[in-house]
Amino acid sequence: MPSFEEELIRMIRKQPSDLYILPHDRYYQLSLSIKGTLFPFKQVTRDYGQRFISYLKYCANMAVSEHRRPQLGAFKFTYAHQKINLRLSSVGDYQ
């Protein structure tokens, strides 16, 4: 499995407006919103998906252990000598 930074770079290269990490029964679906259309990007294990979310929440100064309530956060990610502003939102447990 690629590192979380490598995974994020692979997603950013597609120039999406939004990135989605959605849980399913046995996996997490990484999807990209490009020009208003949602495209599946990759399926990852539940463990990897949960750790990827924790990594992003940590970078955005969000409460990593909070799963029940919605949260907002942001951080700057450097890619190809550019600073990319990422805004994050979590919806909490919805299952």
Q: How far is CA 38 from the centre of its chain?
A: 14
* Of 52, 75, 51, residue with least CA distance to 62: 75
- Domain range annotation of the chain: 4-90
pLDDT per residue as tens, the chain (95 positions): 679 999 999 999 999 999 999 999 999 999 999 999 999 999 999 999 999 999 999 999 999 999 889 999 999 999 889 999 999 999 877 55
Token output for 51: 């750790």
In CATH, the architecture of 4-90 is 2-Layer Sandwich (3.30)
pLDDT given for residue 92 in this prediction: 75
Q: Where are the alpha helices (DSSP H) in 1-95?
A: 4-12, 46-59
